[in-house]
Amino acid sequence: MQDILAMTYLWLKAGHIIFMVFWMAGLFMLPRQMIYCHEAAAGSEEEATWAKRMGLLRKIILTPSLIVVWVLGLALAMSIGAFDQGWFHAKLLFVLLLTGFHGFMVAKSKAMSRGDRPLSEKQLRLYGEVPGILLAVIVVLVIVKPF
């Protein structure tokens, strides 16, 4: 029985990491695609192409990966009893921030797909750095478990 539980844990962990990589890739790509859309002339074919690409990124990569990461992450946390550990509470806070960032960027990309320009190119370039910073903090919390 112990072997089955150990294997289940490893499969959950592998899936969690795989879909976390997909999610992060999408979060790195979305601001860049938004910059390209921002640069396109309003109402142009190029703008429509970037709007379509942003929509596909959201529907095929970002949202499904977000859901799978959360489901597998919570299953992992339950399997190791992480809910009473300080590092996990901190990780959960940063994952919630990353999820909020995801929602914010999705909303802004949908506005851009409608022809609005809610963010400047400079803001988009700065927002492009947010996932990397949050990822670094989350990885340190998981690996080092400082508290």
**Cβ neighbours of 136 (radius 10 Å):** 11
Non-local (6+) Cβ contacts of 32 within 8 A are: 128
Both tokens of 122, joined, read 């400079």
Residue in the structure block whose two tokens are 């879909």: 19
- Is residue 85 a contact partner of residue 75, using CB atoms and an 8 Å limit? no
91 is in an annotated binding site: yes
- Is residue 97 a contact partner of residue 86, using CB atoms and an 8 Å limit? no
Rg, the chain, Cα only = 18
Binding-site members for heme are: 16, 91
Binding-site members are: 16, 91
